Amino acid sequence: MQKTGTLLITGGAGYIGSHTVKHLLKQGEKVVVVDNMVFGHREALDLDRVTLVEGDLGDAELMDRVFAEHQPEAVLHFAAYAFVGESVEQPLKYYQNNVTAPLALLEAMKKHGTRRFIFSSTCATYGNPQYMPMDENHPQVPVNPYGASKLMLERILLDCGVAWGLQSVFLRYFNASGGDLEGEIGEDHTPETHLIPRILMAAKGEIEHITVFGTDYATSDGTCIRDYIHVNDLARAHALALNHLRNGGETTAVNLGTGRGFSVREILATAEAVTGRPIPVSYGPRRAGDPPELVANPAKAKEVLGWEAEYKDPRQHIESAWKWIAGPRGGRYRSSGQ
């Protein structure tokens, strides 16, 4: 469908947000990013083509000004805290940032007539898997405040749909991974908790070893199995979700995954093959709350959005992540963010 207006991207200077911004710019979209730069990086954005507003989406006056000035057609919402362990230790921080702060954004949308919302949600809203692969009808019983906060916002968006016609797409990610194929932008978190970048940091010598938590799961090799979804596939899914709403599509939720799972040991072996370096490993006990297996059923995404993962081989994920980590930037932005 023909592009009809400016897109407001919250958290657009972060990992998945910045890759989505790059994808949208290639499609000719006009983009405004709002980011408080707690985890965002100015260097992740093409500031010659992107309007960056540094501030918090919970600031009602700022949101009102942004909407009055730019009149965005749609919001793509990435801004959130996303460390599961931290959410258990500091639940109020997560409910404030992931649930309360977006209310000011939604008030501005209601006031200024913006009725399209693409939500960066998570498979953590499902909680422990009751069957595999997991589809969108799986019960949503989150087991940590992070997943609960995302589910709360899904419910708020549904209520806004009833009250004032907001149309939303909830994109429930499985394990985001990989990086920009050109190596221009990538994943830079402090602390870094994701498996693939930590493995590559160990390969590079930035950390002493990678810890594998649990080797006695009821899986093929005793380690956890996860569905890894490439960040470029995630970016493309957001563009297709926007098209869905532009074409009059209804509010819906879709899983984003490949439908295939890989164990920690399989990822380690692939990383050694990609880097040509040994990965120092230590083995620890299981972490509380880690299910043995998390794999998506992505059939609905194909049916509703016309989307399916292009990068299904974890080697592609690891090669693109390694290009960033071993590249000129050394896997790090320098002058902003954490």
- Residue in 146, 217, 228, 333 annotated catalytic: 146
Whole-angstrom Cα distance, residue 217 to residue 141? 22
Question: Which residues are bridge partners to 122 per DSSP?
Answer: 173
What sections of 190-276 are H helices per DSSP? 195-204, 231-246, 264-275
CB atoms within 10 A of CB 11: 25
Q: HSE of 258 in the Cβ direction (CA atoms, 13 Å)?
A: 22
CB atoms within 10 A of CB 310: 11
Sort strands 225-226 and 262-263 into parallel, antiparallel or unpaired. Answer: antiparallel
Whole-angstrom Cα distance, residue 160 to residue 329? 42
Q: Is residue 146 annotated as part of the catalytic site, yes or no?
A: yes
Whole-angstrom Cα distance, residue 185 to residue 18? 8
Residues catalogued as catalytic: 146
